[in-house]
Amino acid sequence: MINIDKKYDFVYYLILVVFFAVSFFFSKQYSIFNTDFIHWSFILEQVVSYLNGNQLYKDIFLQYGEGQIVFLSLIDRFYKIDIYTLGIISSIVFSLKFFLVFQILKKIITSKVLALICTSLIFFSITYSQIPWPDLYSGLFLLIFFYLFIINFEKQNLFITIFSSFIFFLTIYFRNTYVLNFILSFIVYFFYETLFIKKRNIYIYKIF
């Protein structure tokens, strides 16, 4: 008997491609016709100042961290950053999340059908991005980290551990204010593993 999940693989990913396309289209349209020049110009001014040789933190006020500014400055080398392209890039970053959400849920729920249903609920709840804030970039890296963390929970591969740690660093690099939440989460998780799952062979204990 053919597994229904494998039989309709192309359907799941076709729907995800549709989610990406729709999300990108409406995010792009919003960035063209509903630009918030208070937030958008704030980000663009930081990028332009950095490209003009001003120093981060010293000459440029950074509210959430330097990640987005440095990243967009690198992009500017081959794709000119302005109010419009700022929206294009953030639209792509936001829309990619649906693929990652599906992959993460598929690993947790172990059912592509239920994972797609949950992803659809998220898609219809928040279909497009409105402000090109660093949260979009940080959120993308956080989802990548979660996916690698779930994969490595079974494989226990040192390379994946190091790489996922770097991805986690980028999550904080793009949004420094998240670090307090992550520290608290780490403390809770550490005590959970230590106090309630003492007999489990935890990979982190192997390393240290």
- Tens digits of per-residue pLDDT, 120-142? 999 999 898 888 888 899 999 99
What does the alpha-carbon distance between residue 175 and residue 137 come to, in Å, rounded to a whole number?
Answer: 8
More confident residue, 156 or 51: 51
CB-based burial label for 142 (10 Å; 0-12, 13-18, 19+): buried
More confident residue, 37 or 204: 37
Tens of pLDDT, residues 178-207: 888 788 888 887 777 777 655 455 444 444
Model confidence at 58, pLDDT cuts 50, 70, 90, reads confident
Q: What is the pTM of this model?
A: 0.83
Tokens, residue 74: 């690198």
**Percent with pLDDT over 70 in the chain:** 90
Tens of pLDDT, residues 71-105: 999 999 888 888 888 889 999 999 999 999 999 99
What does the alpha-carbon distance between residue 114 and residue 106 come to, in Å, rounded to a whole number?
Answer: 8
pLDDT of residue 156 exceeding 70, the answer is yes
